[in-house]
Amino acid sequence: MKRSIALTASAALAVALAGCGQDPEPTDEDYITDLVAASPYTQDGSLDGQGGGGQDDVGLPEAWWRELTGLGQPTVVFENDPATGVCTLTVNRPLIAELNIDVVWDGQLTPGTKDIDVLRTRRVVVVKTGDSSDPYGGWAVSAVTPAEFVLNSDIEQEVFIQSMAFYMSDSLIWECGSPEDFYAVPGDLPVVQFGSLCRLEATVLHTNPVETPPYFVYVHGPLPAWQRHLMYDNGTMGDLVADDGIYTYEWYAEDTIDPRVIAADVIDADTFADQTEQDYDSGAWSIPYVGI
C-alpha cells in the first residue's frame, strides 16, 4: 500500500513538472489580450437596449429591439511589437443577433425577426507602466477610438454615422469626426454628470437613399426611462436647426447602464419598412463615458 502511494505521488510530481514546462510565463500579447477583454474602456455591448419614442406616421415600427444570440471571441491584431512598451491594437468582436421588429400598429406585439451579423471594431493604445508582477503584466489602456459597428454579412451597408458631438449644460465637451480618432483615457472621454443636461448631435450618411425619411437615428446611453431614444432633425428635443442634417437628442442624465457608453446608431428606413425581409442595415459609433 505504501509503495502504491509513493508511486502515485511521484507520478503527480512528474505531471506537475511537465505542466510547468508546457505553461510558460504569459507573453506581453497574452497580458494585453486579457487587459482589453476586461478594461472598462473597451466594453461596448451590442446596442441591445430597448426604447420608446416616435410615431406611426413617420415609418417607425410599433416596437423593435435587438437581441444578442452569439458573442464571438475578440480578435486582437497587434500593429507593432509590444517590446517597445507602447502598442497599438485593433480589437474585433463578432456580434450575432436578431432584430425583433413589429411594424403593425395594432397594440399587439407580433414581431418578425431579421438576422444581425455585425463586427464591432475599435483600436486601442496600451502602454507598459508597471512590471510583470503587476496586473496584466504592467500594461494599461492609454487611449481608445470609438467602437464602430459595421455589417459583417453579405448585405452592403448603406447607412453610416459621420460625426458625434456631446454637450453638457450647452458646452461642447467631446466630439468625433472619424472612428479612427484616438481619445486618451480617461481624460479625453466625455464626462456625464448625473442630473445634468446632456445633448448629443450626430450626422449620418445614406449612400443610396430611397425611402423618406431614408433612415432613423438613435442615441444610446445614460437616458431617462429607456436605454435608447430617437434623435430628431426637426427643431425639437434640443435640435437647434430643423432639417440641417444634424440629428439631436437632449436629456437630463438619470440612469446608468452597463457598459457605460454613449452611442449614435443609424438604421436604414428600408430595414424598418417591413418585418420579413432579411435586409438588416445599420451602423453605429460607441464611446465609453466617465460618470461623475
Q: What does the binding site for Ca ion look like in residue numbers (CB under 5 A)?
A: 62, 102, 104, 106, 108, 233, 239, 241, 244, 246, 270, 273-274, 277, 279
Q: How far is the CB of 247 from Ca ion (least distance, A)?
A: 6
Q: Which is nearer to Ca ion, 51 or 82 (CB)?
A: 51
User: Using omega within 30 degrees of 0 as the cis cutoff, is the peptide bond preceding 186 cis?
Assistant: yes
Q: How far is the CB of 261 from Ca ion (least distance, A)?
A: 23
Q: How far is the CB of 248 from Ca ion (least distance, A)?
A: 6
Q: Which is nearer to Ca ion, 15 or 210 (CB)?
A: 210
Q: Residues with Cβ < 8 Å from 223, sequence gap 6 or more?
A: 51, 229, 251, 253, 254, 255
Q: Residues with Cβ < 8 Å from 21, sequence gap 6 or more?
A: none
Q: How far is the CB of 62 from Ca ion (least distance, A)?
A: 4
Q: How far is the CB of 148 from Ca ion (least distance, A)?
A: 23
Q: How far is the CB of 284 from Ca ion (least distance, A)?
A: 19
Determine contact, residues 101/66, Cβ cutoff 8 Å: no
For residues 99 and 64, what is the distance between their CA atoms, to the nearest angstrom?
Answer: 7
Q: Which is nearer to Ca ion, 126 or 264 (CB)?
A: 264
Element (H, E) at 270: helix 269-272
- In 103-240, where do the E strands start and end? 112-128, 139-144, 147-151, 159-168, 171-176, 183-184, 191-192, 197-206, 215-220, 228-230
Q: Which is nearer to Ca ion, 44 or 270 (CB)?
A: 270
Range 69-89 burial, b when 16+ CB lie within 10 A, else e: eeeeebebeeeeebeeeebbb
Alpha-carbon torsion (167, 172, 176, 177), positive or negative: positive
Q: Which is nearer to Ca ion, 50 or 256 (CB)?
A: 50
Q: How far is the CB of 20 from Ca ion (least distance, A)?
A: 58
Q: How far is the CB of 97 from Ca ion (least distance, A)?
A: 18
Q: Which is nearer to Ca ion, 136 or 272 (CB)?
A: 272
Rounded to the nearest 10 degrees, how much is the dihedral formed by the CA atoms of 80, 183, 261, 228?
-110
Q: Which is nearer to Ca ion, 29 or 102 (CB)?
A: 102
For residues 165 and 188, what is the distance between their CA atoms, to the nearest angstrom?
Answer: 13
Q: Which is nearer to Ca ion, 184 or 240 (CB)?
A: 240
- Residue 56 is classified by DSSP as G
User: Using omega within 30 degrees of 0 as the cis cutoff, is the peptide bond preceding 213 cis?
Assistant: yes
Alpha-carbon torsion (256, 258, 260, 264), positive or negative: negative
